[in-house]
Amino acid sequence: MERIRIHTSKRVELVDITEKIQQAVTKSMAEGGICVVFCPHTTAGLTINENADFSVRQDMVAALNALVPADAGYAHGEGNSDSHIKSSFYGASLSIIVEKGQLALGRWQGVYFCESDGPRSREVWVTTAG
């Protein structure tokens, strides 16, 4: 298992970690199989989406903030209930096919770490099987 360190700079942001995951796959020497990416945090998650146009990330963050505002009077006393809810929209893990030592992503796809309670130092765990 490889641990990837991520440093976020905003409360809510999407960080492209595609290359870091590919480096972990390359290091594993896996030619085929499955790459599992796991986020061990309750206020962050993972998603796969377009990485060709930065404005897609901006739109996703804006839409999620509109759907789950930070100041909606939640019961959770730490003041980050919106972050817990947002992370559940994304999910905690991804499975990505590995083919010929490469992540089998679509032409425009990238893997994103989805921060909802930053800025923070985080990590993502990556393993390959197959």
Number of domains the chain contains: 1
Identify the domain containing residue 92 by its residue range: 2-129
pLDDT tens string 43-62: 999 999 999 999 999 999 99
Between CA 115 and CA 123 the distance in angstroms is: 11
For the chain, list the strands marked E by DSSP.
2-7, 13-16, 32-38, 44-50, 93-99, 102-103, 109-115, 121-129
pTM, two decimal places: 0.95
Residue 130's pLDDT band (boundaries 50, 70, 90)? confident
CATH code where residue 54 lies: 2.60.120.460
Report the percent of the chain where pLDDT is more than 90. 94
